Chain A
Amino acid sequence: MDNQTRNVRLLYFAWLREKVGLASEEVELPVGIATVADLVDWLEQRGPQYGEAFARREVVRTALDKVHVKPSTALGAAREIAFFPPVTGG
């Protein structure tokens, strides 16, 4: 699997959605993207709107297939990767 590209669905919420300008997109992950942090590095190269969305990347939270994870977490076989600000419900 490591030497093949694959498609994943990316979701953006709250101000990340507004900055990226999309609620969701399908992308083909290039070979070599192993962790959440790798994915963010790659996304930042895709255009200024991504650079702006991830400018304060230490505050951006991530979920893989609807479970909270850390930037160092391996993407594994995740199909849906969501990026969002710290939550403010309750």
Chain B
Amino acid sequence: MAVRVQHDDFDVSAETEKLIGGRTDIGAIVTFTGRVRGADSERQIEALTLEHYPDMTEAEMARIEAEAHARWPLQASLLIHRVGELHAGDNIVLVIAASAHRQAAFEAAAFLMDYLKTRAPFWKKETMPSGETKWVDARAEDDGAADRWR
């Protein structure tokens, strides 16, 4: 079990190997990588800046991870979230859930992401090509996704 908040990028393969390399009791590894979307039909962004609440962020991520371990038989897990200024195509978040069988790993990874998005104290601010900035609004769909695990 581990959680990390960092400015630097992460390498999914290296993190996976570090987490579960050499272990033979793990039959299923689900990794999720969240990335910065640069443009969609409604907007284009120049940069995305992530602010967080130091100490609470790590504490909340650890609580979310512990909750996943209480609900599913996980052998290992890792949560990494980046902060600071990011750009289109950059990695933002990594979740790894490892278990003996795939169902627990799939479900735990989805749970970890749903709870991260609705409980971990991070805030995104978008910078437009014009230089204008805007705080990203929370999405009701994210609350709905988290509620299904209650």
Contacts and interface: CB of A to CB of B under 8 A. Distances in A.
A67 B137 CA distance: 22
Contacts of B125: 14
Interface residues of B: mostly helix, strand, loop or mixed? mixed
A66 B34 CA distance: 25
Given A13-B121, A14-B125, A88 B138 contact: yes
B84 to A, nearest CB: 13
A71 interface: no
B135 A66 contact: no
Size bracket of the A interface: 10 to 19
Interface string B1-38: 00000000000000000000000000000000010000
A88 B122 contact: yes
A43 B53 CA distance: 21
B120 A87 contact: yes
B56 interface: yes
Interface residues of B, number: 28
A85 B56 CA distance: 15
Interface string B45-62: 000001111011001100
B50 A15 contact: no
B123 A14 contact: yes
Contacts of B50: 89
Interface stretch (B65-73, B96-104, B111-119): B111-119
Interface string A16-46: 0000000000000000000000000000000
Interface of A: 11, 13-15, 63, 66-68, 82, 84-90
